[in-house]
Amino acid sequence: MNLELKGRLKLIADKVPECNTAADIGTDHAYLPIYLVKQGRCQRAVASDVRMGPVQVADRNITKYKLNEHIETRLGSGLETLKNGEADSIIIAGMGGTLVSELLEADTEKALSAKALILQPMNDLDIVRKWLYDHKFDIYDEELAAEGNKIYCVLAARYDGMDKKYQEFQLHVGGKLINNRDPLLLAYCEMKVRQINRVLGQLEDMEDNVRLFDYYNSLKKDYVKLISEL
């Protein structure tokens, strides 16, 4: 039985390089590890989640696709369920950017030893890019995927030990998206401007908001400038 992926999950899977063991942290349904093993992209996989409910769903799906000998489920937070050096590709998708960076910070050694981190934060990508750059990771690939009325960004990174210099806005829109002229970049920037406008509207009703107001106004200006150049 084959498993078809599309949109966000397909792009995440496409970014996982050929590997021996892939680990999917926050696996929920385990569709990513099932697809990767079915495709022969990895020999084995770890499907890990902090909650028992998703682990049970993952177990059911793994059994349905007859992959119990190739995919192991684990219960626990973040990368703590992995042994040192066990996973050569680590996927963290569908969680907030702050949580993604906290999970990487909690187990930095395991993140450093992976050949690829494939990350798809739902928000706060600037926090994730900052964590990666400050820990000397190279973001070697980035791409956008559209699903429904949302656009998601998938990052692929690996440790290269080199110091990274960056400007604030480069944490919001990755250089690879611009250099590769990602077909969804214009729509992505327009979506961000709409989100910032909503935040600015909410800030108008709050007191003591000058610093935040300036921050979002300046961020909006950077997006508008980039839109004019696309």
Ligand X SMILES: C[S@@+](CC[C@H](N)C(=O)[O-])C[C@H]1O[C@@H](n2cnc3c(N)ncnc32)[C@H](O)[C@@H]1O
Q: Where are the beta strands (DSSP E) in the chain?
A: 19-25, 42-49, 71-75, 89-93, 116-120, 137-147, 150-159
User: Of residues 46, 49, 61, 226, which one binds ligand X by CB under 6 A?
Assistant: 49
* 199 lies in the site for ligand X, by CB under 6 A: no
Distance CA 13, CA 4 (A): 11
Closest to ligand X by CB, 42 or 226: 42
Neighbours of 98 (CB within 10 A): 14
Q: Does the protein bind ligand X through residue 221 (CB under 6 A)?
A: no
Residue 26 binds to ligand X (criterion: CB under 6 A): yes
Q: Is 94 in the site for ligand X (CB under 6 A)?
A: yes
Q: How far is the CB of 67 from ligand X (least distance, A)?
A: 17
For ligand X, the closer of residues 56 and 218 by Cβ is 56
Q: Which residues of 15-50 are buried (b: 16+ CB within 10 A; e: fewer)?
A: bbeebebbbbbbbbbbbbbbbbbeeebbebbbbbbe
Q: 10, 14, 50, 215: which one contacts ligand X (CB under 6 A)? A: 50
Q: Which of 25, 82, 219, 226 lies at the binding interface for ligand X (CB under 6 A)?
A: 25
Enumerate binding residues for ligand X (CB under 6 A).
Answer: 25-28, 49-51, 54, 77-78, 93-95, 103
